[in-house]
């Protein structure tokens, strides 16, 4: 098992109802677990495979400062960690805490502090610190410049020639840090073939709407649907060149910032980081109406009762664009809605757990407003995926390719990682099958923090309920009645099951 970090990152996904706290667990690295140190010095990244069978991306650079995992310290005769000497009295702080404190500084102070010692130099050069500075300060967009640090410096000092200081970084001897090492490792790891092997989702082609409802929507089970995008213009036309020509200058939501599509693609060409920025925009069809016209909702998902709210409905559709390695870490979709996700270019690995199974490594807060999970998707695979092999309730998994659609039923946990540069459309909806769940969710006492995708979180319940009543009188009552009948039926069945079981037991004993 590789080392893990414990720093807390906070990101709030715009689509999701729950804030996601990313956590890296710290485990010690045993001697024979990370044999990377010498190989890491090699300029050929392909040599840098670990004994556990992890392989690095072919274009992976070695760690720019030569940081090694802590376990390697015990292999060195000198047993000296320059991380500690360079931090002085601060050496007792964990790496997470050092970085947390450095995160309070601006760019100029980080630059000055970097000159204090080699250790501070390595810490102050940590890319996520500079990424945060960019995302906090350059919210109207930026031009990525090869690294977050150079992006920030170039944006703040337009007349300064960043290329004059660009270097591959100062290599520091005997610097051991699991936290920093793992950040580099996760940015440069290839997905292992065994992480992609399990494919146990039901696949269907050409089924009727009734079959979809009976076998998947009503029992709330995921399914991968093939062949239902065949008439999408988007499937035929959308690729990077087409989109850049159509709307390269239009700004889309990318994390907390707005970026021109063209600038986003330029960033994603160069992005080599643990959690690449993901373009996830709920207003794409308002910004570029043509995008909304190039696809249609697959027949299975046409009943969307939130439609009664018109412009007042919560966000419900997104264009999603990201490079290989980008994706969505574990979450449940907002407002108890179900969703469909159609891949237009590229491919996505999906891992889904049913509502009653919390994925390993994921810790939701009791009120459901926050979720703590590993820093990155790749870290989840590295440290937690293996555990699911032993689980009785295995996750549902698949690789969803261009032209395919996945149905994500309400309440299911899911994680998605793009295996290639990908473009997708997703929509969330409330059909008759999940209307009561949605209404219950909107009516929860903490709706003001739980409901998402709208400014009117508290009033959404009343508004939605009343409008449904007006548009489809009696529907809610009918659904409530049906749900009660179903519950009673289930109770009856489980009563007779238990009686039968005890009879069998009695027979056995009577022999």
Ligand X SMILES: O=C(O)CCC(=O)C(=O)O
What are the residues binding ligand X (CB under 6 A)? Answer: 15, 320, 327-328, 333, 339, 341, 348, 414, 416, 424, 426
Decide the pairing of beta strands 370-374 and 19-23. Answer: parallel
Closer to ligand X by Cβ: residue 129 or 229: 229
Alpha carbons 147 and 469: distance in angstroms, whole number: 54
Least distance CB 75 / ligand X (angstroms): 39
Closer to ligand X by Cβ: residue 86 or 322: 322
Closer to ligand X by Cβ: residue 305 or 342: 342
- Asked whether the beta carbons of 124 and 110 are under 8 A apart, the reply is yes
- Asked whether the beta carbons of 444 and 491 are under 8 A apart, the reply is no
Closer to ligand X by Cβ: residue 1 or 372: 372
Least distance CB 277 / ligand X (angstroms): 13
Which DSSP string do the residues of 181-243 spell out, in sequence order? Answer: HHHHHHHHBPPPHHHHH---S-EEES--HHHHIIIIITTT--EEEESTTTT-HHHHH-SHHHH
Closer to ligand X by Cβ: residue 257 or 339: 339
- The alpha carbon of 232 is separated from its chain's Cα centroid by a whole number of angstroms, namely 26
Least distance CB 232 / ligand X (angstroms): 16
Least distance CB 124 / ligand X (angstroms): 32
How far is residue 411 from each of residues 260, 337, 368, measured CA to CA in Å? 33, 8, 12
Least distance CB 320 / ligand X (angstroms): 5
Closer to ligand X by Cβ: residue 69 or 282: 282
Least distance CB 414 / ligand X (angstroms): 5
What stretch of H or E contains 370?
A: strand 370-374
Least distance CB 275 / ligand X (angstroms): 12
Alpha carbons 226 and 145: distance in angstroms, whole number: 40
- Asked whether the beta carbons of 278 and 132 are under 8 A apart, the reply is no
Closer to ligand X by Cβ: residue 110 or 416: 416
Least distance CB 137 / ligand X (angstroms): 27
The conformation of residue 63, written as its DSSP 8-state character, comes to P
Closer to ligand X by Cβ: residue 34 or 373: 373
Least distance CB 328 / ligand X (angstroms): 4
- Asked whether the beta carbons of 187 and 148 are under 8 A apart, the reply is no
The conformation of residue 395, written as its DSSP 8-state character, comes to P
Closer to ligand X by Cβ: residue 14 or 287: 14
Strand intervals (E) in 103-162: none
How far is residue 262 from each of residues 142, 240, 265, measured CA to CA in Å? 11, 9, 5
- Asked whether the beta carbons of 395 and 359 are under 8 A apart, the reply is yes
């Amino acid at each position: 098992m590789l080392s893990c970090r414990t720093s807390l990152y906070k990101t709030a996904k715009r689509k999701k109802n729950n804030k996601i706290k990313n956590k890296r667990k710290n485990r010690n690295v045993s001697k024979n677990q990370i044999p990377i140190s010498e190989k890491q010095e090699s300029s050929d990244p392909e040599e840098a495979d670990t004994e556990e069978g992890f392989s690095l991306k072919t274009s992976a650079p070695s760690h720019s400062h030569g940081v090694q995992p802590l376990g390697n310290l015990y292999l060195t005769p000198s047993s000296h960690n320059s991380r500690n000497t360079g931090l002085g009295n601060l050496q007792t702080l964990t790496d997470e805490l050092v970085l947390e404190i450095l995160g309070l500084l601006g760019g100029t102070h980080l630059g000055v502090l970097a000159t204090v010692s080699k250790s501070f130099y390595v810490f102050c050069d940590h890319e996520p610190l500079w990424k945060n500075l960019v995302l906090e300060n350059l919210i109207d967009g930026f031009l990525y410049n090869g690294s977050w640090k150079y992006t920030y410096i170039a944006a703040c000092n337009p007349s300064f020639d960043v290329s004059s200081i660009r270097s591959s970084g100062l290599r520091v001897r005997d610097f051991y840090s699991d936290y920093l090492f793992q950040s580099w490792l996760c940015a440069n790891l290839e997905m292992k073939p065994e992480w992609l092997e399990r494919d146990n989702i039901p696949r269907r082609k050409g089924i009727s709407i009734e079959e979809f409802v009976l076998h998947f929507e009503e029992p709330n089970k995921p399914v991968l649907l093939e062949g239902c995008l065949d008439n999408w213009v988007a499937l035929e036309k959308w690729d990077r060149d087409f989109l850049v020509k159509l709307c390269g200058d239009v700004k889309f939501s990318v994390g907390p910032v707005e970026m021109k599509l063209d600038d986003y693609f330029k960033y994603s060409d160069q992005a080599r980081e643990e959690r690449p920025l993901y373009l996830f925009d709920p207003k794409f069809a308002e910004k570029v109406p043509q995008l909304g016209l190039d696809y249609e909702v697959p027949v299975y998902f046409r009943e969307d009762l939130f439609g009664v709210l018109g412009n007042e409905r919560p966000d419900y559709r997104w264009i999603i664009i990201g490079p290989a390695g980008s994706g969505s870490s574990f979450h449940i979709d907002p407002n108890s809605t179900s969703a469909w996700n159609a891949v237009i270019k590229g491919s996505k690995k999906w891992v889904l757990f049913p509502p009653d199974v919390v994925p390993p490594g994921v810790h939701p807060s009791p009120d459901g407003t926050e979720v703590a999970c590993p820093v990155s998707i790749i870290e989840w695979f590295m440290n937690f995926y293996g555990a699911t092999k032993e689980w009785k309730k295995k996750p549902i998994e698949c690789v969803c390719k261009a032209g395919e659609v996945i149905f994500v039923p309400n309440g299911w946990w899911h994680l998605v990682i793009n295996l290639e540069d990908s473009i997708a459309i997703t929509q969330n909806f409330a059909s008759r099958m999940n209307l009561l769940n949605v209404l219950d969710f909107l009516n929860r006492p903490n709706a003001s923090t739980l409901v998402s995708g709208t400014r009117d979180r508290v009033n959404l319940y009343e508004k939605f309920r009343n409008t449904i009543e007006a548009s489809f009188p009696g529907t809610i009552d009918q659904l409530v009645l049906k749900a009660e009948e179903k519950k009673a039926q289930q109770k009856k069945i489980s009563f007779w099951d238990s009686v039968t079981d005890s009879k069998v037991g009695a027979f056995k004993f009577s022999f």
